[in-house]
Amino acid sequence: MRKVDASLILSKMDRDTAYQMQGNLCFETLALCNMKLDFETCTFLDDIRYIDLIAENVKVIFTTPILAEELPENKYGFILTEQPRVLFFKFHNMLAGNSCYIRSKYETKISSNARISNLAYISENNAVVEDGVVIEPFVTIYPNVHIGKNTVVRSGCRIGGEGFEFKKEENGIIPVKHLGGVEIGDNVEIQNNTCIDKAVYPWDNTVIGDNVKIDNLVHIGHGVKVANNTMIVANSGIGGRTEIGENVWVGFASTIRNGLKIENDSRINMGAVVTKGVKEKQAVSGNFAMEHEQFIHHMKVISVKGKEEL
């Protein structure tokens, strides 16, 4: 990646959000503050609780003057503002038009033995469809999507669309442009009317591993990682940046909050609302989800109390 000088990009933006620049503002890409990458990154910090989580690759930080006092000034360049999150994502949107930040353009590559309905749409650029893939009618494949061998994408699916990321400011709501991609492994099946959003940052992908099976009407948010052999049942929603391990079962109509880790061989039971990470081989149930045996005990206690009150 080529380095970007934040001061040059900021100088081209409308100055509707006040800021001051301090130090060396060169970086390679944008990311959240705790993302450990091989690139020099620019991030934002608007909460003191995240100071100890800042990755070593961070070089430039959008932050408030008060929070900057808690950080070593000789280690970072700063863009000081009272609205670091909003200005950071405006900056991200501005970079969406910069060739040194976004992905390179190439002609779409479709295997000659893929079976694709004439009623499906595949982007003319930046898509790869490998051998043995089946794409049914009314599927949409957007740019920056790679579909692995022998994968089946059933009718009505949308792969690689914009995710749900908006930032509020005083004058309205800012949509955040999604510049990443989607990587789908081999022998995956994605059933009818499921949506898999692309990642926010150009270096990142939403990833669906080999042999994953996804039912109808499932939402996979931006930057989610689903490892091999996992199964996700209908009407479930996976929040952005969540990581789901191998051999996981996500039951019917489950909801998993963004940014969680669901470890290998775990089980999300039907209708669970998951708000914290799930350990390896753990089963969780309920709203909010808890360890399954604990949930059953809790329900028994409630049932006994209810009968006593009758």
* Residue 210 tokens, joined: 């080999």
Which parts of 261-305 are beta strand (E)?
261-262, 267-268, 273-274, 283-285, 290-291
- Decide if 59 contacts 78 (C-beta within 8 A): no
Q: Tell me how far apart the alpha carbons of residues 102 and 114 are, in angstroms, rounded to a whole number.
A: 28
Residue of 146, 178, 219, 222 marked catalytic: 222
Work out the end-to-end distance of the chain between its first and last CA atoms, rounded to an integer number of angstroms.
Answer: 69
User: Can the peptide bond before residue 288 be classed as cis, meaning omega within 30 degrees of 0?
Assistant: yes
Q: Tell me how far apart the alpha carbons of residues 25 and 93 are, in angstroms, rounded to a whole number.
A: 18
Which letter does DSSP use for residue 176 in this model? P
* 222 has catalytic annotation: yes
Sheet bearing 261-262, strands edge to edge: 109-110, 127-129, 145-147, 181-184, 205-208, 225-226, 243-244, 261-262
DSSP, residue by residue, 191-221: -TT-EEEPPSSTT-EEEE-TT-EE-TT-EE-
Q: What is the β-pairing status of strands 172-175 and 140-141? A: unpaired
**Which H or E run includes 85?**
helix 84-95
Residue 141 exposed, middle or buried by CB count within 10 Å (0-12, 13-18, 19+): buried
* Residue 310 tokens, joined: 């009758």
Q: Tell me how far apart the alpha carbons of residues 110 and 272 are, in angstroms, rounded to a whole number.
A: 39
Catalytically active residues are 222
